A = this chain, B = another copy of it.
Amino acid sequence: MEMKYNKVTDEVLKDLRGIVGEENVLTDKETIKLYSSDEAPIGLEATAEVVVKPKCTDEVSDILSLANEKMIPVTPRGQGTGLCNGAVPVYGGILLSLERMNRILEIDEDNLMAVVEAGVVLSDLRLEVERRGLFYPADPGERTSFIGGNIGTNAGGMNGVKYGKTRDYVLGLEAVLPNGKVLNLGGKVVKRSMGYDLMHLIIGSEGTLAVVTKAILKLIRLPKIFITLYVPFSNMYDAAKSVSEILREKVTPTAIELVEREVILEAENRLGKRMPHHDADAYLIIRIDGDKEEELYGDAEAVSEICLSNNAVDVLVADTKERQSVIWDIRSVFYEAIVKSREADIVDAAIPPSKMPLYIERIKKISDEYGVKILSYGHAGDGNIHVHPIKDGLSDEEWNEKLPKVMMKLYSEAKNLGGVVSGEHGIGWTKKKYLPICLDKEEIRIMKEIKKIFDPNNILNPGKIFDA
């Protein structure tokens, strides 16, 4: 597929400086390189021609109008914590960093809503609302991510079991089209039935339809108490089976994470902290929240009993803030611990939660069949698991030959169980080839036609999700 884009000329640079000011147009090669990658385990060689940092919606609008007119690709970027090369400027052009649009504009305590710019850091928003006794529950592992990026991939994370994903908390969006026009979608309303929902179309569109500049987010009240159970098992299957049974019970934990021993050990080393137990082959990490202590402990007991009846080795309860922090801090580096210390790829399948034990068995079978080591962990409670094929012990040649087959097999087995190719990371550049496993031709055709409506010149994050 051939793209006919123009280069960022000196004249374009001058125009960009006119829009955002001299200091917000970066052309230094090293800087550009830093902005041209994300956290994908297998990166891409690509660099933008310029990094531009707008401060407000009008500036975003002017940049897009200019790029659209000059046929220059624009890649919007949040914190660059995505895992699919979704923010990598594969056709060069302008890298549009939203980092300066980082204001929390309003926390509306009457309506339990927040209005934020796209460049607000997730952890900043969480802290700010928690100070007021409120809670923004969408919680992808990476809390340094930007809200705009969370919206771009419909980010999920730990709390999906009880609280859902980013989409469930977006009530309104301001988004700029490639033609520079600004859409105001949704609003501070709970219900809305007014034609086709363009807001939901833009959520999860990975910056390919419009650049999200502001969001109205739903908040809930902060639960008063959290406790964490840390449950060792002698194998992944028993742990996964416990999850299915917990979900059938009259208890809904905030989070149920499943992980195998080796990942725990790597993460402990990476962070220099220790889990309360690390000698069993598999673990569940279960968080329960609520407002009443006795109820919480009642739920914890019910969950413990299920785990023990499924051969849990023990059930450790962390109820102080400090003990819980250690566990969740270690949890938060699982991904880094795996990919920074070795070559690995990642599968982000989501399957019907009840099928998790079956999927765990199939992963084991695929590992044995291809002779490729596989490490897994993830959000077992909502059926979203991260599966890492690992290069350990393989030559470059073997790895390059086996990896694509193993990846395809892992996705296909997820599909066979009624699952999908991406639970929460999005498609980006990396997973385009797996999309046809789950979407039929007609669906992809419609998506491509929709892309043309929003972005007829294909300047906005081109090459992502599919080849337009």
Contact = CB atoms under 8 A, between A and B. Distances in A.
A446 B454 contact: yes
Nearest to A133: B250
Interface in A201-250: 201, 203-205, 209, 221, 244, 247-248, 250
A383 B191 CA distance: 8
Interface in A16-67: none
Tier of interface size on chain A: 35 or more
A384 B190 contact: yes
A421 interface: yes
Given A110-B244, A187-B418, A247-B110, A193 B423 contact: yes
Contact of A189 (B185, B200, B423): B423
A455 to B, nearest CB: 11
B193 A427 contact: yes
Contacts of A209: 196
A183 B443 contact: yes
Contacts of A424: 191, 193
Given A189-B423, A197-B200, A203-B197, A248 B110 contact: yes
Given A295-B292, A446-B454, A197 B190 contact: no
B189 A419 contact: yes
B111 A427 contact: no
Contact of A194 (B187, B193, B427): B427
A192 interface: yes
Interface string A241-280: 0001001101010000000000000000000000000000
Interface string A432-453: 0001001110111011011101
Contacts of A112: 247
A183 B382 contact: no
Contacts of A192: 154, 350, 420, 422-423
Given A189-B351, A195-B205, 7 more contacts: A110-B353, A168-B168, A188-B352, A189-B418, A191-B383, A193-B427, A197-B200
